[in-house]
Amino acid sequence: MSLFKTLKESLSCAGEAVILTPTIVGTTETGGSPVNSGGEAGLAEEVPDPVVSILMKMEQMNTSNELDSRSVASIRTGSSSSGGALTDSFSPRSNKSRENSVPAEDDEDLDLWAIWGNLIKNWETEIRKRPNYIKELVGRGIPQHFRTIAWQLLSDAKVSTIHDIYVDCLRRTSPYEKVILRDIPRTYPELEFFKDNGRGQQALFNVIKAYSIHDVEVGYCQGSAFIVGQLLLQMPEEEAFAVFVRLMETYRLRELFKPTMTELGLCMFQLECLVQEQMPDLCAHFNNMGFDTSMYASSWFLALFTTTLPLELANRIMDIFLVEGMEFIFRVALAILQQARLDLLRLDMESMLKYFQREVRERYENDHELLFVVANKVTLNAKKMKNTSYYQLEPYERIDNIHYLLSGANQFA
């Protein structure tokens, strides 16, 4: 059986919202051996580990995929998961071979299935030999059906090596359990998957609790629930835990979530420096109004825009974040501010808060590509990005800054 056909069959439901069988605290139903299916033998022959285990896990998920269609509609917006202008070097019209080009939109769906299927089949070779090609392909948006696999591969999550850790964490008690239980209903309450006492809430609790035990220094921070929830909409909880651990350890998120919030303060400081350089009038307006950067931007970094933008758009941001890291979050932040600049210059503090809470989401609700067009044109001053003079601030200034950061973090409440 060809890889394309095998993927098409085994992932036929994966593009819809994922159903998880909830893991009761102290036990786990993830990490078991793959179910046998008619395509398993052919798949194993063509696809190397660890991709086989990921595909088989997805097939298990698809067997129990009974999520209400309203939840599916709420996390998908047509074909917006991929699209946008191509650079000449990757255009099918260029002199590059078809193998090294991102497809034109006319035959996009078929070509992307074939391209991503081949990419996953040969992942270890492709990521080593053609990282720039993968970066370009990811920039177009990973097809929804492939995100379960792609996010694990891009983050280099090792589910098999973390299985025992996850099971052990589930069996133990976290000092944060009451706080986590309080915050669970506030996480994507509009989605059926995360309704009260639903399977999504149990999975969300399990993953967050497990991480709070796994990383004692960080413990639990509220914004992390939205990132975990985003992962759970794409994959089972054990895989979500493995990816979340990688996000925390290798993508700078762990430093953001530490109780002192020093790294988050640094990000706010760096963003303010960039705004001052690129939009001095807006920076002056913020200062005149006493509108601290963390009052609008801390949730952007802590939740990776999942609480600010439509979820499918946040998924595309995650696609690129897994390739480019925190730099892309800065570029998206500056793109939002560039497009909102004229509106913000006319508003007082209270109106600006409302603007960031509502109108930013509405601006991109029906035009996801607009944000990426602008973000891809944003340039970051390397010196500003390396500016760590925040660490030399006087202690009283740092305390004031932490106060603002905590206020910004409370945007999740």
Question: What residue ranges of the chain are covered by domains with CATH 1.10.8.270?
Answer: 1-81+141-250
Q: Is the pLDDT of residue 106 over 70?
A: no
d(CA 390, CA 376) in angstroms, rounded, equals 27
**pLDDT, tens digit, 9 for 90 and up, residues 122-163:** 999 999 999 999 999 999 999 999 999 999 999 999 888 999
Confidence tier at 406 by pLDDT (50, 70, 90):
low
- CATH 1.10.472.80 residue ranges for the chain: 256-412
Place of tokens 């255009």: 91
Confidence of residue 217 (pLDDT cuts 50, 70, 90): very high
Q: Does the structure show a pLDDT above 60 at 56?
A: no
What dotted CATH number matches 256-412? 1.10.472.80
- pLDDT at residue 216 in the model: 96
- pLDDT over 50 at 234, yes or no: yes
Going through 52-190 in order, the beta strands assigned E by DSSP cover none
Question: Average pLDDT of 308-334?
Answer: 97
- The H or E element that residue 179 is part of is helix 177-183
User: Is the pLDDT reported for residue 237 higher than 90?
Assistant: yes
List of E strands, 190-324: none
- pLDDT class of 45 with cuts at 50, 70, 90: very low
Cα distances (Å, whole numbers) of residue 309 to 106, 230, 315, 337: 28, 12, 10, 14
* pLDDT more than 90, % of the chain: 58
Confidence (pTM): 0.74
Q: Stretch 208-235: mean pLDDT, rounded?
A: 96
Which phi and psi angles does 81 have, rounded to 5°? -70, -10
| Residue 248, C-beta contacts closer than 8 angstroms, at least 6 positions apart | 211, 215, 218, 254, 257
The pLDDT tens digits of the residues spanning 189-199 come to: 999 999 997 78
Percent of the chain with pLDDT over 70: 66
Say which residue, 397 or 37, is predicted with more confidence: 397
pLDDT at 223: 86
Residue 118's nearest CA partner among 260, 252, 4, 244 is 4
Whether the Cβ atoms of residue 181 and residue 208 lie closer than 8 Å to each other: no
Q: What is the pLDDT confidence band of residue 385, given thresholds at 50, 70 and 90?
A: confident
Confidence of residue 327 (pLDDT cuts 50, 70, 90): very high
The predicted pLDDT at position 111 comes to: 83
Going by pLDDT thresholds of 50, 70 and 90, the confidence category of residue 222 is confident
The CA-atom distances, in angstroms, between 362 and each of 250, 300, 314 are 32, 16, 14
Q: Which of 333-343 are b and which e, b meaning 16 or more Cβ less than 10 Å from the residue's Cβ?
A: bbbbbbbbeee
Least-confidence region, from 118-122, 213-217, 294-298, 380-384:
380-384
**Backbone angles phi and psi of 343, in degrees to 5:** -65, -45
pLDDT score of 219 more than 90: yes
Q: What is the pLDDT of residue 262?
A: 86
Assign a CATH topology to domain 1-81+141-250.
Helicase, Ruva Protein; domain 3 (1.10.8)
Distance, in Å, from the CA atom of 18 to the CA atom of 171, rounded to the nearest integer, reads: 25
pLDDT, position 368 = 87
- Rounded to an integer, the average pLDDT of 295-307 is 95
Structure confidence at residue 387 (pLDDT) = 64
Least confident of 66-75, 125-134, 160-169, 272-281: 66-75
Cβ neighbour number for residue 322 with a 10 Å cutoff: 22
pLDDT at residue 137 in the model: 94
Alpha-carbon gap, residue 267 to 251, rounded angstroms? 13
- pLDDT per residue as tens digits for the range 335-350: 999 999 999 999 999 9
> In whole angstroms, how far apart are CA 336 and each of 84, 255, 341, 364?
18, 24, 8, 10
Residue 81: predicted pLDDT: 37
Q: Which residue has the tokens 């651990």?
A: 245
Q: What is the pLDDT of residue 383?
A: 73
